[in-house]
A and B are shown apart, each in its own frame.
Chain A
Amino acid sequence: MLSVDRVEKSYKKAGMFSRERQRVLRSISFACGPGECLGIIGESGSGKSTLGRLLLGIEKPDRGTITFDGRRVDERRARRGKISAVFQDYTASINPFYTVEKALLEPLKLRGLSRRERHSAIDLLLHQVGLDLSYRGKYPHELSGGEAQRVCIARAVATEPKLIVLDEAVSSLDGSVQLQVLELLRSLRQLYGMSYIFITHDIRAAAYICDRVMILRSGQIEEIVAVEQLKDVQSAYARKLLEMVVL
């Protein structure tokens, strides 16, 4: 469904006269099937968020192609309503002047529903992410981290996408809230049958929700492995990464 073929990306290095370019991603190729949850794990600076932005079509790769259902993701129409995103910084993700209702209404307009249908769709979405209807009129600053992230997730599933890119979506939540949101993501995936690209540095969270994980190291794919075979990772780097999990 999503297929990434020999993608490269580089940025200009800092400094006004610098001609040097820093290569962030080199020859990345992988695929993500329908209904699959693929984790992308890496240290800070490994290029995982850049890869996320490329998948969303927010930025274009220098070389290589990313296609979704056979069409290039940098065409807006190819990804309209089909690819959604949830980011780490939930406070910056919702317009501070929008109520929860208004934030959820925006993607629903894409689906061409009538007013009444939209109204009931919001009720359903709030219910699905475990918030009661009193949240409709609340503003982002009245929400806790976990609640705000639930609203972001509701907004992402509102268009009934085929793929959601989750960039560190649970990383800044507390331990127990993190688990609640992971459970929510699991149940939504069963409900809608969509795919996730789950970008994180937290291996335990990735192991909890993903079918396969891809380990990224300084812009290159180190290894792709099914979570059941995590213990059999081949590369030395992946082994080190797994050993460093503080239980």
Chain B
Amino acid sequence: MTNILEVSDLRIWDSDTGHVIVPGSSFQVRQGSCLAIVGESGSGKSVTCRAVMRLNKASIRQSGSIRFDGVDVSELSEQDMRKLRGKRMCMILQHGMRAFDPSRVIGVHLRETLKQHYGWSRSESDASMVMAMRSVMLKDPAAILNQYPHQLSGGMLQRIMIALAIVLEPDMIIADEPTTALDTISQFEVVEQLAQLRDRLGCAMILVSHDLGIVRTMADEVIVMKAGVIVERGATEAIFSEARHAYTRYLVSSKLALDRHFQRMMEGVGGGVAER
């Protein structure tokens, strides 16, 4: 299987302070597979993702090569990059509230995006958005298009972003902490929608999360980052069962401590706990 994304020797630093955020990481995403990046806050997960999209602010510099579908992203002009972003690489962000323009109704943002990439008219883009929004279980999509972001819940905004991704049919989706800001029920629904999205489009995905439960259900491969350095990589099950690096084992064991306790409660005290 070919790689959709190949990152090699990616180095990211802050040119104002000279502080190196990511000293040099290399990783690949295979076509149609899901790569999860895990690590604690400040480990450089989001900066890495934004570097792939070339969305870091100007003072954050990067070197190394990022090849997306054979094209070196760093050599593209800003104009070509804009065409690539959205249409071929989609980003789903943590804070729905900050991802949409707060002074415009949702529909304006969606129509603008679709016009840019497809040149669709208002009625064309509304028709396909309504279809996509229905498929992510949003009720009354036509009314949602006329609402402002603050009138909608975090889970709904997250699903609108997923619906937009469905219409754009990208080759790769970068989901940066898509469920962190949501409650248990919305979390569950968004994870389901993301999984369906992958099934439907067959697209690759980079999933950034510190929630190992979601990583385990979604990812094929995992890389573990600590202070900007990739300390471990491997297939998802291997990371959970036979992690080599102490840091990975620490992350996995703290997740399992909560899980085990919960399962024990669910099975009643004294009941045997199934080892996972």
Contact = CB atoms under 8 A, between A and B. Distances in A.
B254 A44 contact: no
Interface stretch (A55-63, A94-102, A197-205): A197-205
Interface size class of A (residues with CB under 8 A): 20 to 34
Contacts, number: 89
B191 to A, nearest CB: 6
B232 interface: no
B262 A246 contact: no
B266 A230 contact: yes
Contacts of B266: 230-231, 242
Nearest to A172: B180
Interface string A164-205: 000000001011111110100000000000000000011111
Nearest to B181: A172
B261 A174 contact: no
A174 B210 contact: yes
A247 interface: yes
A175 B256 CA distance: 10
Contacts of B254: 175-176, 178-180
A179 B258 contact: yes
A201 B184 contact: yes
Interface string A201-212: 111110110000
A205 B213 contact: no
A144 interface: yes
Interface string A145-164: 10000000000000000000
A219 B188 CA distance: 22
Contact of B258 (A45, A177, A204, A230): A204
A207 B185 contact: no
A228 to B, nearest CB: 5
Contacts of B210: 174-175
B153 interface: yes
B276 to A, nearest CB: 8
Contacts of B124: none
Interface string B156-192: 0000000000000000000000001011111110010
B183 A44 contact: yes
Given A203-B184, A247-B213, A231 B258 contact: no
Given A204-B258, A204-B262, A228-B269, A177 B40 contact: yes
Contacts of A227: 265
A179 B257 contact: yes
Contact of A244 (B184, B214, B217): B184
A92 to B, nearest CB: 16
A174 to B, nearest CB: 4
A202 B180 CA distance: 11
A35 to B, nearest CB: 20
Contacts of B212: 175
B211 A175 contact: yes
B97 interface: no
B69 to A, nearest CB: 31
A177 B184 CA distance: 19
A144 B43 CA distance: 12
B18 interface: no
B142 interface: no
A43 interface: yes
B75 interface: no
Contacts of A174: 40-41, 210
A144 B250 contact: no
B78 interface: no
B154 interface: yes
A37 to B, nearest CB: 14
Given A175-B255, A176-B254, A208 B187 contact: no
11 contacts: A44-B153, A44-B182, A175-B258, A176-B250, A179-B258, A207-B262, A228-B269, A241-B184, A245-B188, A247-B259, A247-B263
Those 3 A-B pairs whose CB atoms lie nearest each other, nearest first = A201-B183, A244-B188, A176-B254
Interface of A: 43-45, 144-145, 172, 174-180, 182, 201-205, 207-208, 227-231, 240-242, 244-247
Interface of B: 40-42, 153-155, 180, 182-188, 191, 210-214, 216-217, 250-251, 254-255, 257-259, 261-263, 265-269, 276
